[in-house]
């Protein structure tokens, strides 16, 4: 299904926005959104988990510039004054960040500080992509932003969890001590086009397994839950948060909670797949329940996810099958 990412539908004064992780799943959708709105975008990525094909979508756009760089070592931008620095660089799926644990910690620590320094130098806003993983395996359900979490600081997932927790801390420190205009989002499970085929997260796994007629791998007994939001809902929430003054973390997710066994059966039905479901041992530190409390996002952004998982999965499966 061909994509047409360049229609001009500007809805605000043109901005100059630098996005780290621009070749990643979420980053590439932000590039598309902002170019469509008439903004100028500078993308930065080192392709540890991003895809060259995502950069190629926009490479010929007159308002898009790409810098290949590891933001942990610095952001080599010397252009015109920026309005926003948006830090979305990081491996985000367990197979990827467990493959690159040091790099994941570095991009959450030094990469975040380099982004904050750049924003401070330009008098720009700084937007941090954090994660629901800061809640760990939660004892509070659903998870509000006031919950401090239950994270294993030395476990196999800690390179990602603790990197994001530190990133939030240094972002708030730059806001409080240096006046940087910051935003922080905690992203709950998000899916959609442009995810890597080897992403390793559950929706990607189930879709590709079902379309190939392979067994669907369910960990544990399948009773663990997640709350899935489609990428378009997430991008809409991000865009709205840029327009309001709120500096503390905001959950962005879909509070519709389903079990992994329910999800497997939904995927099978939509794919018309005869794949069997098999069970494997639970991964270490895998959360049992995950559901966002989006009261703050609803209150300050009028954020209500609108895309049903069944409709989104049909769209993804058409794209995946082509």
The continuous run of DSSP H or E covering 212 comes out as: helix 202-212
- The upper half-sphere exposure of residue 155, i.e. CA atoms within 13 Å in the direction of its Cβ, equals 16
Rounded to whole angstroms, how far apart are CA atoms 259 and 224?
Answer: 5
C-alpha 203/C-alpha 264 separation (Å) is 9
Contact 141, 98 (CB under 8 A): no
Task: Report the C-alpha dihedral over residues 19, 21, 22, 28, rounded to 10 degrees.
Answer: -120
Catalytic residue, from 97, 160, 174, 191: name it: 160
Pairing verdict, β 250-252 and 257-259: unpaired
Cα-atom radius of gyration of the chain, to the nearest Å?
19
Give the number of C-alpha atoms closer than 13 A to the C-alpha of residue 246, restricted to the C-beta side: 18
CA distance 265 to 274: 10
Output the CA angle 165-170-171, nearest 5 degrees.
Answer: 95
Task: Work out the number of other CB atoms within 10 angstroms of the CB of residue 282.
Answer: 12
Cβ-contact 191, 203 below 8 angstroms: yes
Known catalytic residue: 160? yes
**Which backbone phi and psi does 314 adopt, to 5 degrees?**
-60, -40
The values of phi and psi at residue 84, to 5°, are -145, 145
Neighbours of 118 (CB within 10 A): 20
Q: How far apart are CA 9 and CA 27, in angstroms?
A: 19
Backbone angles phi, psi at 268, to 5 degrees: -60, -45
Could you give the residue numbers annotated as active site?
160
């Amino acid at each position: 299904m061909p994509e047409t990412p360049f229609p001009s539908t500007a809805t605000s004064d043109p901005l100059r926005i630098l996005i780290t992780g621009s070749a990643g799943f979420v980053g590439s959708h932000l590039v598309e959104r902002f170019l469509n709105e008439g903004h100028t975008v500078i993308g930065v990525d080192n392709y540890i988990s991003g895809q060259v094909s995502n950069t190629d979508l926009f490479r010929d756009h007159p308002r898009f510039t790409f810098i290949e760089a590891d933001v942990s070592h610095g952001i080599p931008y010397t252009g015109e004054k920026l309005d926003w620095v948006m830090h979305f660089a990081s491996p985000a799926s367990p197979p990827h960040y467990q493959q690159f644990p040091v790099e994941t910690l570095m991009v959450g620590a030094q990469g975040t500080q380099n982004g904050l320094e750049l924003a401070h130098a330009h008098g720009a806003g700084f937007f941090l992509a954090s994660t629901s993983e800061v809640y760990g395996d939660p004892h509070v359900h659903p998870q509000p932003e006031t919950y401090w979490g239950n994270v294993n600081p030395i476990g196999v997932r800690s390179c990602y969890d603790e990197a994001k927790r530190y990133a939030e801390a240094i972002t708030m420190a730059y806001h409080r001590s240096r006046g940087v205009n910051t935003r922080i989002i905690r992203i709950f499970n998000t899916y959609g086009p442009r995810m890597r085929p080897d992403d390793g997260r559950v929706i990607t796994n189930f879709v590709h397994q079902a379309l190939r007629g392979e067994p669907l791998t369910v960990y544990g007994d399948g009773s663990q839950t997640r709350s899935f939001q489609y990428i378009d809902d997430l991008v809409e929430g991000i865009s709205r948060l840029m327009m309001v003054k709120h500096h503390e973390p905001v959950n962005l997710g879909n509070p519709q909670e389903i079990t992994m066994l329910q999800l497997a059966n939904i995927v099978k039905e939509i794919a018309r797949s005869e794949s069997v479901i098999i069970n494997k041992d639970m991964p270490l530190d895998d959360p049992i329940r995950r559901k966002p409390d989006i009261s703050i996002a609803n209150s300050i952004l009028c954020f209500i996810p609108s895309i049903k998982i069944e409709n989104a999965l049909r769209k993804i499966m058409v794209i995946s099958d082509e």
